[in-house]
Structure 1
Amino acid sequence: MADSVQVDQFSFKARREGGGTPQLNQWGATSDYGTLRSVLLGPIENYRWLKTSSLSKKTLRRGVQFDPAVARAQHREMVSAYESAGVEVHTHAPDPHLPYQVYARDSSVMTPFGAIITHMAQYWRRGENIRAIETYQRLGIPIYDVVTVGTFEGGDFNVIEPGSVLIGWEGPEGRSMEEGARQVAGWMEAEGWEVKLADIDPYYVHIDLMVVMLAHKLAAVCLDCTDPEIVDWLKGKGIEIVDVPFRETMALGCNVVALGEDRVLLPAGSKTLKAKLKALGFTIYDPELGMITQGGGGVHCMCQSLVRDPV
């Protein structure tokens, strides 16, 4: 394990070639389920639906009317849920030219070594990377490195447990290309992390639509659409799976956020997962987010962990 380090000067590349990059001692997360202390969210002010995924295309095709006032109210409810759970909330500065900036998961990835700045697939989202760099500079969080090979988005970086990450890619017709995924995978492997690469159908957008960690050795997984090889890999680690039905998964019902200490933030529409987790003794925060999720992203898509307790 690398020694922790205090970084006093903002850096665009904290990564050490060949690995051995020191871990940060004030920021970072080694898991996606340790107690969440600080989170980065995107602004809602300029949000509107665009044809970014199969879900948003269906929403627009069916003539559903977007109500920005409702979306803003639902976003406030989500922020309130985080604050009620004792989580410090940071937000990107809003940019009127970036309507999908609310999905803070995609433009960066937080690691124990600093933030990875990604390379967005859709041209109307690429400016989100610049706003993300500004946010990390303002907070004093160094950049681990920047994706420069192909495209890669944060929803395809899925920490399963400390030292182990599931990285998805969908090819040139999707959001993350194999080349970008392999660049990030190489960095993590050099740091001593295990990497599982998963090619998924572009229909599912990102790997975190179908696989999300809930707690130590517990994951929400849509068995109907997740490659059996990934399921077997998870089970091989002793991870228990809570199955989420396909219909709810496609409405972002599996795209949830572990808050730590057997607490989970999920959308009100995730009824099956909510019932299963309550039976397991979890505390549930379930804001109504339908006006946002119909645009193609859920609560996991809307957040980036900045600080989680070690597990």
Structure 2
Amino acid sequence: MFVKNGTAELKHVLTSPPDYLKKADPINEISKKYQFEPLNQAKLANEYQALIAAYKKADIQVEQLLPQPVMTNSVFARDFGACVKEGYILGRFKEPLRFAERAAYEAKMKALGIPKIIEVKTGYFEGGDFAFLDEKTIAIGLLQRTDQVGFAEVKAGLSKYGYQVYPVPADPRYLHLDMCFNLITDHLAVAYPQGLPTSFLTLLKKLKIEIIPVPEAAIFKHGCNLESLGKNRVISLKQNQAVNQALIEHGVEVIELDITETLKAGGGPHCMTFPLNRS
């Protein structure tokens, strides 16, 4: 078994250092704001190492994909696909800037011995749009980078294994589902509810998932881009003070990281992490 859901104990992750992330390419609403200023390489490296250190402190095994010069955005390891109990889904990038990552991550997963059970070949699908709601229920965002064709390919592949897969359309400005919704524990999520469809909110209620609400502005400051470690623990950003306090009040241990430079390229801790094992 590889990844049984989104909130079980995280034991093994795949990441990639930001070695060639020199500037914020204008491929999302956040990065557009910073496209004309170079990114601070030392800060990027330190922020990545802080994430790795947090994982190691939590006894989580860390794998690294060493990037190539053409893989400027590979630090956002989440996006190449998704992992379930049976193996992994190889997605398909929409932005040409990220095309080179696909083969590199596919080769890495083969080297790690994790079987590819689905490959998106026609549509688009990125891992930032993939969210477990429970062990057999999965939500897939339809925002900027995943389309209906890609969704249908993933849903058809997963249905063979008994998963129920639901589409979650939302404003393309939010980029990925993990920017406006993230499950933290089995029955607790952080989200911007006004930006999510009524059908999805109804499903969350049916599954007894409580929402800690954030304002729309928080999406663009990575207020929802958190990484659950399981056992009521989560990695969050130091700047997410209101969200972090609400999580603490719900009995969650919050591990705060002072990440600011990486965010300028459009991704946070959740984007930087591809789970390989949750059990």
Deviations 1:124-143 (A, max 9, x none): 10111111111112111111
Q: Does 1:30 align with 2:4?
A: yes
Aligned mates of 2:191, 2:271 — CA distance in 1: 16
Structure 2 match to 1:148: 121
Structure 2 match to 1:248: 218
Aligned mates of 1:265, 1:129 — CA distance in 2: 26
Please state how far the C-alpha of 1:64 moved relative to its aligned partner. Answer: 4.5
Aligned mates of 1:187, 1:263 — CA distance in 2: 31
CA contact (8 A) 2:78 2:127 kept: yes
* Local SS of the residue matching 1:286: strand
Please state how far the C-alpha of 1:65 moved relative to its aligned partner. Answer: 4.3
Aligned mates of 1:67, 1:237 — CA distance in 2: 43
Structure 1 match to 2:90: 117
Please state how far the C-alpha of 1:38 moved relative to its aligned partner. Answer: 0.5
Structure 1 match to 2:41: 68
CA contact (8 A) 1:114 1:141 kept: yes
Structure 1 match to 2:32: 57
Aligned mates of 1:144, 1:252 — CA distance in 2: 31
Aligned mates of 2:84, 2:5 — CA distance in 1: 9
Q: Does 1:296 align with 2:266?
A: yes
Aligned mates of 1:137, 1:186 — CA distance in 2: 23
Q: Does 1:232 align with 2:202?
A: yes
Structure 1 match to 2:101: 128
Deviations 1:226-270 (A, max 9, x none): 223211211111111111222222211101111011100011121
Please state how far the C-alpha of 1:101 moved relative to its aligned partner. Answer: 0.4
CA contact (8 A) 1:93 1:135 kept: no
Moved more, 63-72 or 87-96: 63-72
Deviations 1:156-203 (A, max 9, x none): 111111000001123xxx311110111101111222111111222211
Aligned mates of 2:260, 2:169 — CA distance in 1: 28
CA contact (8 A) 2:81 2:125 kept: no
Structure 1 match to 2:141: 168
Letter in 2 for 1:248: A
Please state how far the C-alpha of 1:302 moved relative to its aligned partner. Answer: 0.9
Aligned mates of 2:114, 2:199 — CA distance in 1: 36
Bigger Rg, structure 1 or 2: 1
Structure 2 match to 1:41: 15
Aligned mates of 2:176, 2:267 — CA distance in 1: 10
Q: CA RMSD in A?
A: 1.3
Aligned mates of 1:123, 1:154 — CA distance in 2: 16
**Alignment equivalent of 1:284, drawn from 234, 254, 261:** 254
Letter in 2 for 1:222: Y
Instruction: Provide structure 1 residue ranges, at least 5 long, that are not aligned to the other structure.
Output: 1-24
Please state how far the C-alpha of 1:277 moved relative to its aligned partner. Answer: 1.0
TM-score, normalised with respect to structure 2? 0.96
Number of aligned residue pairs: 278
Q: Which has the higher helix share?
A: 2
TM-score, normalised with respect to structure 1? 0.86
Aligned mates of 2:37, 2:216 — CA distance in 1: 22
Letter in 1 for 2:141: G
Aligned mates of 2:183, 2:264 — CA distance in 1: 23
Aligned mates of 1:223, 1:157 — CA distance in 2: 17
Structure 2 match to 1:218: 188
Please state how far the C-alpha of 1:93 moved relative to its aligned partner. Answer: 2.1
Instruction: Provide structure 2 residue ranges, at least 5 long, that are not aligned to the other structure.
Output: none
Letter in 2 for 1:38: H
Structure 1 match to 2:230: 260
**Percent pairwise identity:** 26
Structure 2 match to 1:95: 68
Aligned mates of 1:279, 1:67 — CA distance in 2: 35
